[in-house]
């Protein structure tokens, strides 16, 4: 499950490295294969504790991850060539005795103990001509229909090709195809699958195709339109509109909309899907304070589904533990955030939110190929709620500059038919990031 719907990944210090190139066409790029090269490292220490209150084992794991990303510049000429490479290492510090499967470390072989270490490496060939860039190999992707999960100890990657173009000022055009993914808690790669289908079915797709356009041509206003095909599973379409307006130096207003339509396609390996999901938010910012109200609606007898382990759920009520994306679910959220720079403590930020949802699980097809496990005979008005607290501090200077410490606490409770799904859980996370720019 994704951390937040606003795509607030924990690899903030690495974001410029792992996100797709979104520079404006008139920005200067480093010239030369060597002169434009960079090497960035990130050491991430991650502790997760899922304290379950129902008849299910707790999940408690602690690990140390290392991520290295090398990016070359481009060779001289009209057509430039370059190479990117990444390597990842995860070490188990604690986790076993039946407390595995928190998603930080690889899933054990049944012994209840995750492996002591896991690692992976990947490379990408890139070609640039004018304002167009082609990449082939292991990709870090970040868009509304395919975004690699970055909310665990190590990030998720995809294997395939991507193409992006910045020929028009304020516009990004991109597309591509991926066939395999490297999950964030595994060494090997596997075919693309979905996040919310029945785990027992293990349905995988041959590939995912996507194309999209993002626009930011007016100050404060952004919009994007994307389409994706998960072969023989679904076609998915996305649209968003977001506007930030400053009334004065103190007060800002930020309304926004996210909308997804998902429809089964081809062999329909997960069964019939006809799902319209949207969320609306309005944020009032006053100085260092902000207050957000959000409403989210799933119109369909299947949950809003997305790529397994991915962050491609740009919905406002996707929280630390629950995405509030069940069949026919309506949910509301209130969120308060404060930047302690207002008290002379720059680098310290906080957020507190409360979300509540109601579903109708009786309309789910109990014979669905992909989503029958969501059915609940007593779930006509199934309800659940979640409370989230997030504290983060980023060191502002000195030898430890950019070192970040993040504390997260989520409380999720369900009732009246919602017991058919996972509920009644307290989840604690402690994350320490130390990014290093080698060159």
- For residue 363, give the 3-state DSSP assignment: helix
Question: Does the structure show a pLDDT above 60 at 19?
Answer: no
Determine which of 87-96, 224-233, 236-245, 388-397 has the lowest per-residue pLDDT on average: 87-96
Position 180 scores a pLDDT of 95
Please give the distance of CA 428 from its chain centroid, rounded to a whole number.
18
- β-partners of residue 43 are 66, 434
- β-partners of residue 80 are 128
Q: How far apart are CA 324 and CA 327, in angstroms?
A: 9
Q: For residue range 403-424, what is the model confidence (pLDDT) as tens digits?
A: 999 999 999 998 777 765 567 8
- Mean pLDDT over 54-72 rounds to 88
- Spatial contact of 223 and 215, defined as CB atoms under 8 Å apart: yes
Question: Does the structure show a pLDDT above 90 at 349?
Answer: yes
- Spatial contact of 147 and 174, defined as CB atoms under 8 Å apart: no
Whole-model pTM? 0.89
- Spatial contact of 353 and 369, defined as CB atoms under 8 Å apart: no
Position 417 scores a pLDDT of 72
Provide the token pair at 169: 């000022």
Please report, rounded to a whole number, the percentage of residues in the chain having pLDDT higher than 70: 89
- Spatial contact of 190 and 158, defined as CB atoms under 8 Å apart: no
Position 54 scores a pLDDT of 73
Question: Does the structure show a pLDDT above 60 at 34?
Answer: yes
Q: Which domains does the chain have, with CATH numbers?
A: 12-437 (2.40.160.10)
Question: Does the structure show a pLDDT above 50 at 142?
Answer: yes
Please report, rounded to a whole number, the percentage of residues in the chain having pLDDT higher than 90: 72
Q: How far apart are CA 258 and CA 270, in angstroms?
A: 24
Rg (CA), the chain: 22
Give the dihedral of Cα atoms 323, 327, 332, 335; nearest 10 deg: 0
Question: Does the structure show a pLDDT above 90 at 126?
Answer: yes
Position 24 scores a pLDDT of 36
Q: How far apart are CA 95 and CA 286, in angstroms?
A: 43
Position 114 scores a pLDDT of 79
- Give the DSSP letter string of 123-177: EEEEEEETTEEEEEEEE--EETTEE---SSSS--EEEEEEEEE--STTEEEEEEE
Q: For residue range 158-201, what is the model confidence (pLDDT) as tens digits?
A: 999 999 999 999 999 999 999 999 999 888 889 999 999 887 77
H/E element, 15? helix 15-18
Question: Does the structure show a pLDDT above 60 at 15?
Answer: no
- For residue 413, give the 3-state DSSP assignment: strand
Question: Does the structure show a pLDDT above 90 at 113?
Answer: no
Would you call 188 exposed, middle or buried from its count of C-beta atoms within 10 A (0-12, 13-18, 19+)? exposed
Position 103 scores a pLDDT of 81
Position 21 scores a pLDDT of 39
Q: How far apart are CA 73 and CA 439, in angstroms?
A: 12
């Amino acid at each position: 499950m994704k951390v937040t719907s606003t795509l607030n990944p924990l690899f903030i210090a690495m974001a410029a490295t792992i996100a797709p190139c979104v520079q404006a066409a008139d920005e200067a790029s480093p010239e030369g294969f060597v002169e434009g090269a960079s090497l960035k490292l990130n050491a991430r220490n991650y502790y997760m504790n899922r304290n379950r209150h129902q008849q299910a084992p707790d999940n408690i794991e602690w690990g140390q991850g290392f991520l290295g990303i090398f990016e070359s510049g481009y060779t001289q000429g009209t057509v430039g060539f370059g190479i990117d490479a990444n390597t990842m290492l995860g070490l188990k510090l604690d986790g076993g005795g039946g407390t595995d499967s928190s998603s930080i470390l690889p899933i054990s072989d049944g012994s209840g103990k995750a492996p002591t270490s896991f690692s992976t490496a990947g490379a990408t060939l890139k070609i640039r001509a004018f304002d167009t860039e082609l990449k082939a190999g292991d990709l870090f992707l970040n868009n509304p229909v395919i975004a690699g999960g970055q909310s665990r100890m190590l990030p998720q990657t995809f294997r395939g090709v991507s193409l992006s173009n910045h020929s028009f000022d304020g516009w990004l055009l991109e597309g591509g195809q991926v066939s395999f993914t490297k999950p964030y808690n595994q060494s090997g790669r596997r075919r693309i699958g979905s996040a919310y289908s029945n785990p027992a079915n293990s349905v995988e797709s041959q590939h995912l195709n996507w194309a999209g356009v993002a626009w930011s041509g007016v100050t404060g206003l952004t919009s994007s339109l994307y389409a994706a095909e998960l072969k023989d599973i679904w076609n998915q379409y996305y649209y968003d509109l977001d506007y930030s307006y400053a009334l004065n130096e103190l007060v800002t207003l930020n309304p926004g909309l996210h909308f997804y339509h998902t429809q089964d396609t081809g062999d329909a390996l997960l069964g019939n899907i006809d799902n319209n999901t949207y969320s609306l938010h309005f944020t009032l910012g006053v100085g260092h304070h902000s207050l957000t109200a959000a409403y989210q609606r799933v119109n369909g007898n299947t949950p809003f589904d997305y790529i397994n382990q991915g962050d491609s759920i740009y919905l406002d009520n996707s929280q630390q533990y629950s995405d509030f994306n069940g069949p026919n679910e309506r949910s509301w959220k209130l969120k308060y955030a404060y930047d302690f720079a207002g008290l002379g403590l720059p680098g310290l930020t906080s957020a507190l939110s409360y979300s509540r949802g109601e579903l109708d699980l009786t309309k789910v097809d109990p014979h669905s190929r992909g989503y029958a496990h969501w059915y609940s005979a007593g779930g006509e008005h199934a309800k659940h709620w979640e409370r989230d607290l997030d504290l983060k501090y980023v060191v502002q200077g000195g030898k430890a500059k950019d070192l970040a410490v993040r504390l997260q606490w989520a409380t999720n409770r369900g009732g009246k038919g919602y017991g058919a799904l996972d509920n009644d859980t307290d989840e604690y996370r402690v994350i320490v990031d130390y990014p290093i720019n080698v060159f």
